[in-house]
């Protein structure tokens, strides 16, 4: 795994954790969560396996 891939994976995981906080706090809907997660996957192209 390259340094860029490691960085992208770490950023992706951190962003998902923040999204989950927003979702559980009621600041974001399920639909918004799914849309933002899809955009993050597109931009960062994580190489780790994510839970669907």
User: Is residue 51 in some structural domain?
Assistant: no
User: Is residue 29 in some structural domain?
Assistant: yes
User: Is residue 10 in some structural domain?
Assistant: yes
Residue 50 has pLDDT above 60, yes or no: no
pLDDT for the residue 41: 87
**Token pair of 35, please?**
């849309």
User: Is residue 19 in some structural domain?
Assistant: yes
Over pLDDT 70: what percentage of the chain?
92
Number of structural domains, the chain? 1
| For range 19-35, the mean pLDDT | 95
Identify the weakest region by mean pLDDT among 2-11, 16-25, 33-42.
Answer: 2-11
User: Is residue 23 in some structural domain?
Assistant: yes
C-beta of residue 24 within 8 angstroms of C-beta of residue 33 = no
For residue 30, CA distances in Å to 7, 13, 52 come to 26, 18, 13
Residue 49 has pLDDT above 70, yes or no: no
> Which residue segment(s) compose the domain that 29 sits in?
3-44
pLDDT bracket for residue 47 (50, 70, 90): confident
């Amino acid at each position: 795994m390259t340094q860029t891939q490691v960085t992208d994976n770490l950023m992706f995981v951190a962003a998902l954790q923040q999204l989950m906080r927003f979702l559980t706090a009621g600041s974001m809907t399920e639909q918004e969560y799914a849309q933002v997660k899809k955009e993050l996957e597109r931009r960062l192209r994580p190489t780790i396996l994510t839970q669907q």
